[in-house]
Homo-oligomer: A and B are copies of this chain.
Amino acid sequence: MVRQAGFPTGRSRSTQAERALAFRKMHEGPGLLLLPNAWDVAGARLYELEGFRAVGTTSAGIASTLGFPDGERMGLDDNLGVCRRIVAHVAIPVSVDVEAGYSGCLDGLSETIARVIESGAVGVNLEDGAKAGCGGSAPGALLEPSAQADRIAAARQAADRAGVPLVINARTDVFLAHGAVSEDRLREAIDRGNTYRSAGADCVFVPDMGDLGEAEIAALARGIGAPLNLIAGERTPSVPRLEALGVARLSFGPRPMRAALHFLRAMAREWLATGTYSRLHSGESLSYDEVNAWFTPGDSRVT
């Protein structure tokens, strides 16, 4: 629980509570909340400078920067160490991805939530079990809805004890665990969403493998009595369409990181294949000075 030396957030608890309330309010419109996902400080600052109102982390992305596969293989210390740095360097609200909570018991989960708040974050994602990730495979079993409700209630209580109205984003992996969208799975996602909302969640996150159509999205938004969070994929309707369908928040998971890695790979393959470096062209890149200026040491937000 000791604050990491050199990374004070520079914000008091009451300010953190205010930021949490402001973040919660962003889910009420007008318009959909675009929540881009970062895996390091550079990306988080980039998002902030581009005008995003808040930023989320991606546990899978952070894990890969540190050398771990996804799925709580990295420790919570590693995960929150990156979150803490991000919080220290951006002024917008930060929501952290702590996967399934890094503990199977309620006491352990409460401790995780206390540490999330201590890191300076004002929002958290909590999954109901399947570690299929976003767009991946190898799903596990989902927790029983009542068991996950107990976990969400414990998380809420832990946040209350810390005095921070943490925005709890309850993620149900119904579609990741079971693949194709069906009438039954849609019903299950809605039921789980409402159960989690009643247990204390602020919003409900229903990631899919890209096969949620507009009719299903509208049914989810209508059926779940809480702001609905979807994940962006190649077949996801555009933001204006999602807004018309009643979606409150759109996040990206590790997909932007994988797209950036794909870009890096294409760049590296050119070096090897033809011995040229066309993607380094300065006119199409960021300058040394521009990136450095993102991190001015005198920046009051990081003192």
Contact = CB atoms under 8 A, between A and B. Distances in A.
A109 interface: no
A180 interface: no
Interface in A280-295: 280-289, 291-295
B288 A46 contact: no
Interface stretch (A19-27, A96-104, A251-259): A251-259
A232 B46 contact: no
Interface residues of A, number: 84
A238 B273 CA distance: 11
A228 to B, nearest CB: 16
Interface stretch (A66-74, A140-148, A160-168, A191-199): A66-74
A276 interface: yes
B64 A41 contact: yes
6 contacts: A42-B261, A46-B261, A67-B85, A137-B288, A255-B280, A255-B285
Interface of A: 6, 34, 36, 40-43, 45-47, 50-52, 60, 63-70, 73, 75, 85-86, 88-89, 133-138, 210, 232-234, 236, 238-240, 242, 252, 254-265, 267-269, 271-272, 274-277, 279-289, 291-297, 302
